[in-house]
Structure 1
Amino acid sequence: MEHESDHISDVGSTFDFKGFVLKVFSYWQLILLSVAISLGVAYYNNVRKLPVYRLGNMISIKDDQNPFFTSNTSLTFNWGGTSDKVNTAMTILTSRSHNEEVVERLQYYIGYQKDGEYQRVNAYGQTPFKLIADTSANQAQGKTFTVEFKDPHTFTLSTTFQGGSVGVMNYGTKERGSVVVEEGEFSREYKLGQPINLPFFNGVLEPTNMEPVPGQPFYLQFKHFDGVVGRFKGISVNAQSRGASVLNLALTGDNKAEIVDYLNGSVRVLSENMLERKNLFATKTIRFIDSSLAVKSMELQNVEDELNLFRNQNAIVDISAESSQLNSKLLTLDVRKEDITRQLAYYETLEDYLQTRNDYSNVPAPSVAGINEGSIVSGVGRIITLAEERRKYQYSLQENSPVFADIDRQINAVKSILLENMTSSKELLRKELQDINRNIAVAETEIRKLPQEEQDLLKIQRKYSLSEKTYNLFLEKRSEAGLVKAANVSDVMVIDMAKDTGGGQIGPNTQLNYVMALMVGGVIPLTFVFLLVFLNTNVHNAQEVTRLSPIPILGMIGKSRMDTNLAVFNKPKSAIAEGFRGLRSSLQFMYKKQGVTGSKALLITSSVSGEGKTFCAMNLATVFALSEKKTVLVGADLRKPKIFDDFGINNDVGMTNYLIGQESLDSIIQNSMVPHLDVITAGPIPPNPSELLMNEQMETLMAELKERYDYIVMDTPPVGVVADALNLVKYADATLYLIRQDYTKRGMLDVINEKYAKGEVKNISFVLNHFVHRAKYGYGYGYGYGYGYGYSYGRYGTGYHEKGPTTGIKKWWREMKRNFE
């Protein structure tokens, strides 16, 4: 008994992989249909999907030194080296500010479309016109305008307005708003080259080299600016190799002309901006020199007027040789003093910038003040370059980005060194200034010995000469800065321009779509079958029963499609009838093996109602009677009597009347239309059926029946609902426990397994009822077990049984229906 308990506890622990595979194959129609639908969807998508292209260009970030740059040149550029420029260029090309500028220049916020085979397609570069939008006026954002040519020069601009207003955007200021429009259709004729000035559309359609086709519509739309920029920010920028200065740019889209223009336009904007930043130092210096020249020019003019006025008012025209010598000496000292003063003033201004300001872009070149010290010149140039780089990043990165911290750290490092060098330089200049002032004082003492008129003339000439020298110095610096700026070239060199060479298509990947369709088409039915297996707790086949219980299977009864329960009597040559005959043979073999002689009692029960107990009891009793054995069918289900209707008898008197002593055995036995078969119905429903089945009258009844009949077949209530059947087990020589295919729950077998393990029921066997063979249940015909009769007949017979439909549409329909039942 302990061994049997262990067996029961292990039941159901093994997954029936073979049954699962066979069940999957049984749904081949569903799998085929699912795959066909998936492939159809894939084909539909493939033919409707627009081609996707990927094109690229190649540039080099070089470190071109200015050909006019020497150690004595007053301006310094090209700081940072090639690697720094490459990293900066890579960042700029994918930055928002850079792509905003490219989109603005190319006016890529204008969308061009035309009718394709299945949908509207991108028509950039494929239209007989190009819209030049007025960036200072409002444009209807997101609104589609239709352009249809009437002749090669005249077209109709039309659209439809719904509602009283439309959203507009000024692409110059990026301001949004709305304008009131008249609801309904808008249509107006224009000519190519004619300005269009509307509250919601402003620009001019310029002709291209394509000839317009009258009646062919084109579509224009002003897109969301930030959305367009976001799309082109996805441009791919990669270095040719690690540490190399060659960059490969690539962009993906649905229009090759659009991709080509954008890639080349992006490089062009980068080149111009890098040259502008390269010239920034010179530009700021030229601006400073121009403002200083204006001041010095006015100063020189005033001194010249003063000198002419003095000569006109005095007799003296020129100075003596001695005065000339003193004047020359003083001029040299004054020029040097002016130079030192200018350098000290520049140092003070630069120190103020470094200590109090964050914007260093307005600092002029140190050489403007005559400072040619290499450490000072390079330091200022480095700071200005870093400051400009930081300003550029502010448009594309957040303020807390690590890039800004790195740039600030570099600026502070250069600033610290620069301030130290400036301190030592200022100290030396101040000492030199003191010496010059002493020499000037000595010379001025000598001048005071000259006549007064000559002193006055010498003083004016001295002032004039100093102003002239300073003016000429600024002119020289201005010329030098302009020469350096003019000679500068961009550090961006185009190796390969973007170009449509006929290839570049990367999508759609039709083969991948078909592979994915096959996978999806197969996974869906497999998932369905998987869920069907693991979520369906019904018993499906004999193999499941053997895994769930140690109780043997005696036989299988097919699914009856008759309107009556008397299947054997009405159609004795049917497969159902042969199934019951096989079950009869198995029972006789079992009785013989157990040594049962004389009258034999058979009890039929199940887990719950609806599993076919009454059906099997009636037909088993019929096959026993047809073998000319005296048989009685006992309706022991006192709670829900059923067997009387099919035999055409009444249920007014039955077992209940006998058990309570109202009627004798002869009075409750009723004859049936089946020869040798008598029936005892349940009778009226009593209030205490369990107690009645347990009293002595039941023992007396069974003893009298065994004396009169060869076979006693008892139809009892389900053991999973009430305990009535267990009270009758002691009277039975064999017990049949019915399991209905696709109806009985697996968990229902736990009750009978437990009672079998405890020995409460003996000589019990399973009968698989309502059996319909389908491959989806995992097993073929000819299955037998123990004493079981192998249900190996075809569904519609094999010549031994009554025929069913065998050809034509009816057969096909039945086969399809059977697979999905």
Structure 2
Amino acid sequence: MLNFLTPTKYQVSVKVRNQTLTGTYDVGQWAPFPGMQLLLETVPGRALPIGDDPQYHFVILDDGSMNGYLDKNLDVTVVNPSANTIQISFTDNNPDKAAHIINNIDTVYLQEKLDRKKQSTALSLDFIDQVIADNDKRWRAAEEAQKEFVRRNKTYDVKGDMAALKGNLEKQQEDRQKLQDKLRLLSDISRLMNREQLTRNDDETVADNLPGITELEDPTLIGLLNELDGQQRSLRLTLKSQTDKTFAVQRNQAVIRDTRELLQRQLQQDFQLFQKQLARLDAKDAQLNNKLMAMPEKVTEQDRLQRPLSLYASTYQRLVDRKMDFNIQQAGTTPEFQILSPASPPSEPITPVRLLVYAIGLASGLLLGLGLIATRYLMHNTVTGIGELERGAKAAVLGVIPTYDKEKLEVSRLVVDKNPKASVSEAIRSIRTNLDFISPANKKRIISVTSTISGEGKTFVAVNLGGIIALSGQRVIILDLDMRKPKVNLAFDADNVRGISTILIERHTLAECIQHTGIESLDFISAGPTPPNPSELILNPRFDQMLAELHRSYDVILIDTPPVGLVTDGILIMRKADVPIYIVRANYSRKVFLKNLNRLMSNNQFTKMCTILNDAKAQNAYGYGYGYGYGYGYGNSNTGYGMGYYEESTQAPTLGQKIKSFFS
């Protein structure tokens, strides 16, 4: 609560929890309270009410209520995506309050954005400093490991040392090759020395026959070879004029022998010298190879030690550059958006718009109605009335059996004898009358009753149609040939221990299986135990014999066949029937079943096929207080004469019942 004591002073009372806080403050002065601060400013030109009674009241909302209020009324719209422009609006009963909230949202968002950017930059800088310190520590450890490697291996460049070793090995290989060439040359000289002459022609020298002799670098050896060559030439000249018995020839031969001995000793000395040099090269090669074998491990170790150094150096440089970028960014932090224009209150309310409300209501009503109609149309996939049955089926319509609602039937029952005046009884009488137009009553007939699937009421129609015909004085027997799912015995509360299946396998006779009912001229034979091969039993000649025996005792043989949409037994039986009847249940049988019926008639030439609409709702009754309905037709036409239904007069349906029937 707040009241003005003077135009420049006011008193405020705030209730916090269980206590009331009161204070007196000047206009424009902040008033501190637990969890908030209050600032009161006056509007120039407006008089303030001054008095002891509080003139103003306000409510302090909690954070949840305030956030809900803002979320509900705040709206943000993208005005121009290309220009990154948005429009913020706020809806409230007080236009000045809405404008004030928008302007403060801009200011708070601007300041919050700047604070967040600075906080983000500061956190990034702290993280970079931490990473730099950690990187520097790891860098120093890597440098120490590198120094230890240099001290241990006494080299800074292992790869260079390895290249030098390879060069030394290659040079030693060349030296080895030279020594081996010298050894081969010594061998050639030793072999040549034993010849009678060192040169082939007198004008040749030893160097001509031994081109590589200069590589021996032994002048003594070369001199001895030349001396020996000269002595041999002198001997050859002497032998041309003297014999080998003369003193001169013998003296020359003695000189040559002495020279050969000297040459042989010199060759032996050179050979030993070169062998020692070759041994020293082998030892040095082994030493260099051992060093070279150890080099790959050292190279790998040095690469492993140098890799972190380059990594830490590049990481340090990137971090320093990144830190500089963040410092520059923090120094020039500016908001990423700009307020193009402050909020301004509208001149008139923006909601509600009366014309728009009316238009939305009208459009919603139309769409709802059209949606209901479309839903009703799309969900309508069953046969609902006699009109749809006549349009969809090629077979003649014998009649319509209304819904039997006198009692709830758990299984199909014989009801025409207990309720002879019910609409169901009259409808079946009408079917009996229409049946006489197709197959006269003065002839014995076989009538089969089938349907597409189970649950369409074929057993109910068969039992009660048989009862109506029997009440007219004809002898009728009902055969339950639905051996997979027998129900006729349930209609008469009888057992099913023997029946059609035991007759066809000749376990029982026909007389043993006939069971009597409450109507004197109506009998039935149940299906019997379920066999594993119903179709094969029907094809058994014994089945035709059974029908022939029954023809002699009964006027009408009424057969309850299996559904033709599930098994083929029903088609086999319908071929033997004089009048095949197809049951269609209203609001249960699908429209596609009528196509199956037409296909069945075309494929099997069922010219006398008839249909009955079962479980039809009584609508638009016509009659004389009792509700008679008629339809006409003969033969294979799509109409049939007879009473549609007959029941006690009913009241006109109410509006609620009409709406319920529309959605049913």
Paired residue for 1:699? Answer: 544
Provide the C-alpha distance between the structure 1 equivalents of 2:499 and 2:613, rounded to a whole number of angstroms.
Answer: 30
1:745 to 587, 590, 610: 590
Aligned length: 397
- How far has the Cα of 1:716 moved from its partner? 0.8
Mapping for residues 662-701 of structure 1, pairs under 5 Å: 662-701=507-546
Aligned 8 A contact 1:669 1:680 in 2: yes
Paired residue for 1:657? Answer: 502
Structure 1: stretches of 5+ with no match in the other structure: 1-147, 160-183, 237-250, 266-391, 399-497, 799-803
Give the TM-score, by structure 2 length: 0.51
2:420 to 572, 576, 579: 572
Matched, 1:156 2:13: yes
Provide the C-alpha distance between the structure 2 equivalents of 1:730 and 1:231, rounded to a whole number of angstroms.
Answer: 78
Provide the C-alpha distance between the structure 2 equivalents of 1:563 and 1:687, rounded to a whole number of angstroms.
Answer: 34
Give deviations 1:546-575, integer Å, cap 9, x for gaps: 454433433211111233522212211111
Residues 793 and 195 of structure 1, relative CA distance in 2, 3 Å threshold: same
Paired residue for 1:189? Answer: 22
Paired residue for 1:537? Answer: 381
Aligned 8 A contact 2:434 2:642 in 1: no
Paired residue for 1:759? Answer: 604
Code of the aligned partner of 2:96 = E
Matched, 1:555 2:555: no
1:797 to 648, 659, 662: 648
- How far has the Cα of 1:252 moved from its partner? 9.1
Give deviations 1:589-630, integer Å, cap 9, x for gaps: 1225xxx85101111001111110100001101111111121
Provide the C-alpha distance between the structure 2 equivalents of 1:515 and 1:652, rounded to a whole number of angstroms.
Answer: 72
Where 2:382 maps in the other structure, the secondary structure is coil
Aligned 8 A contact 2:91 2:98 in 1: no
Mapping for residues 319-398 of structure 1, pairs under 5 Å: 396=338
Provide the C-alpha distance between the structure 1 equivalents of 2:434 and 2:450, rounded to a whole number of angstroms.
Answer: 18
Paired residue for 1:258? Answer: 96
2:371 to 486, 508, 527: 527
Residues 200 and 707 of structure 1, relative CA distance in 2, 3 Å threshold: same
Paired residue for 2:190? Answer: none
Provide the C-alpha distance between the structure 1 equivalents of 2:345 and 2:530, rounded to a whole number of angstroms.
Answer: 96
Aligned 8 A contact 1:555 1:784 in 2: no
- How far has the Cα of 1:685 moved from its partner? 1.7
1:638 to 462, 466, 483: 483
Residues 578 and 190 of structure 1, relative CA distance in 2, 3 Å threshold: farther
- How far has the Cα of 1:210 moved from its partner? 5.6
Mapping for residues 165-180 of structure 1, pairs under 5 Å: none
Provide the C-alpha distance between the structure 1 equivalents of 2:629 and 2:96, rounded to a whole number of angstroms.
Answer: 68
Provide the C-alpha distance between the structure 2 equivalents of 1:684 and 1:257, rounded to a whole number of angstroms.
Answer: 88
Paired residue for 1:719? Answer: 564
Provide the C-alpha distance between the structure 2 equivalents of 1:632 and 1:760, rounded to a whole number of angstroms.
Answer: 26
Residues 709 and 781 of structure 1, relative CA distance in 2, 3 Å threshold: closer
1:517 to 340, 351, 361: 361
Aligned 8 A contact 1:252 1:259 in 2: no
Code of the aligned partner of 2:14 = L
Residues 552 and 218 of structure 1, relative CA distance in 2, 3 Å threshold: same
Paired residue for 1:788? Answer: 640
Code of the aligned partner of 1:586 = N
Residues 634 and 394 of structure 1, relative CA distance in 2, 3 Å threshold: closer
Aligned 8 A contact 1:603 1:715 in 2: yes
Residues 597 and 694 of structure 1, relative CA distance in 2, 3 Å threshold: farther
Provide the C-alpha distance between the structure 2 equivalents of 1:790 and 1:612, rounded to a whole number of angstroms.
Answer: 20
Aligned 8 A contact 2:631 2:639 in 1: no
Mapping for residues 729-744 of structure 1, pairs under 5 Å: 729-744=574-589
Give the TM-score, by structure 1 length: 0.42
Aligned 8 A contact 1:773 1:781 in 2: no
Provide the C-alpha distance between the structure 2 equivalents of 1:233 and 1:724, rounded to a whole number of angstroms.
Answer: 72
Q: Work out the percentage of aligned pairs sharing the same amino acid.
A: 26
- How far has the Cα of 1:772 moved from its partner? 1.4
- How far has the Cα of 1:191 moved from its partner? 3.4
Residues 757 and 191 of structure 1, relative CA distance in 2, 3 Å threshold: farther
Residues 540 and 688 of structure 1, relative CA distance in 2, 3 Å threshold: same
Mapping for residues 294-313 of structure 1, pairs under 5 Å: none
Where 1:554 maps in the other structure, the secondary structure is strand
Where 2:399 maps in the other structure, the secondary structure is strand
Provide the C-alpha distance between the structure 2 equivalents of 1:671 and 1:814, rounded to a whole number of angstroms.
Answer: 44
Aligned 8 A contact 1:586 1:787 in 2: no
Paired residue for 1:486? Answer: none
Aligned 8 A contact 1:192 1:204 in 2: no
Provide the C-alpha distance between the structure 1 equivalents of 2:76 and 2:414, rounded to a whole number of angstroms.
Answer: 81
Residues 202 and 499 of structure 1, relative CA distance in 2, 3 Å threshold: closer
Provide the C-alpha distance between the structure 2 equivalents of 1:676 and 1:206, rounded to a whole number of angstroms.
Answer: 108
- How far has the Cα of 1:738 moved from its partner? 1.0
Paired residue for 2:348? Answer: 504
Paired residue for 1:380? Answer: none
Mapping for residues 64-213 of structure 1, pairs under 5 Å: 148-149=1-2, 153-157=10-14, 188-191=21-24, 193=26, 195-197=30-32, 200-206=35-41, 209=47, 211=49, 213=54
Residues 742 and 192 of structure 1, relative CA distance in 2, 3 Å threshold: farther
Residues 149 and 675 of structure 1, relative CA distance in 2, 3 Å threshold: farther
Q: Which has the higher contact order (CA 8 A, sep 6+)?
A: 1
Residues 253 and 730 of structure 1, relative CA distance in 2, 3 Å threshold: closer
Where 2:575 maps in the other structure, the secondary structure is helix
Code of the aligned partner of 1:568 = V
Residues 757 and 217 of structure 1, relative CA distance in 2, 3 Å threshold: same
Aligned 8 A contact 2:457 2:583 in 1: yes
Mapping for residues 576-591 of structure 1, pairs under 5 Å: 576-591=424-439
Provide the C-alpha distance between the structure 2 equivalents of 1:261 and 1:752, rounded to a whole number of angstroms.
Answer: 75
Where 2:430 maps in the other structure, the secondary structure is helix
Paired residue for 1:13? Answer: none
Where 1:556 maps in the other structure, the secondary structure is strand
Provide the C-alpha distance between the structure 2 equivalents of 1:686 and 1:394, rounded to a whole number of angstroms.
Answer: 87
Root-mean-square deviation (CA), in Å? 4.7
Provide the C-alpha distance between the structure 1 equivalents of 2:632 and 2:356, rounded to a whole number of angstroms.
Answer: 48
Aligned 8 A contact 1:774 1:819 in 2: no
Aligned 8 A contact 2:74 2:91 in 1: no
Provide the C-alpha distance between the structure 2 equivalents of 1:554 and 1:540, rounded to a whole number of angstroms.
Answer: 16
Where 2:532 maps in the other structure, the secondary structure is coil
Residues 187 and 260 of structure 1, relative CA distance in 2, 3 Å threshold: closer
Provide the C-alpha distance between the structure 1 equivalents of 2:360 and 2:546, rounded to a whole number of angstroms.
Answer: 71
Aligned 8 A contact 2:96 2:345 in 1: no
Residues 548 and 815 of structure 1, relative CA distance in 2, 3 Å threshold: closer
Aligned 8 A contact 1:654 1:683 in 2: yes
Provide the C-alpha distance between the structure 2 equivalents of 1:684 and 1:743, rounded to a whole number of angstroms.
Answer: 30
Give deviations 1:504-548, integer Å, cap 9, x for gaps: 345312453244234334533542442343245333333433454
Provide the C-alpha distance between the structure 1 equivalents of 2:355 and 2:439, rounded to a whole number of angstroms.
Answer: 67
- How far has the Cα of 1:815 moved from its partner? 6.8
Provide the C-alpha distance between the structure 2 equivalents of 1:790 and 1:505, rounded to a whole number of angstroms.
Answer: 72
Provide the C-alpha distance between the structure 1 equivalents of 2:20 and 2:630, rounded to a whole number of angstroms.
Answer: 81
Provide the C-alpha distance between the structure 1 equivalents of 2:442 and 2:643, rounded to a whole number of angstroms.
Answer: 27
Provide the C-alpha distance between the structure 2 equivalents of 1:394 and 1:649, rounded to a whole number of angstroms.
Answer: 92
Provide the C-alpha distance between the structure 2 equivalents of 1:683 and 1:261, rounded to a whole number of angstroms.
Answer: 90
Code of the aligned partner of 2:364 = V
Aligned 8 A contact 1:539 1:545 in 2: yes
- How far has the Cα of 1:817 moved from its partner? 6.0
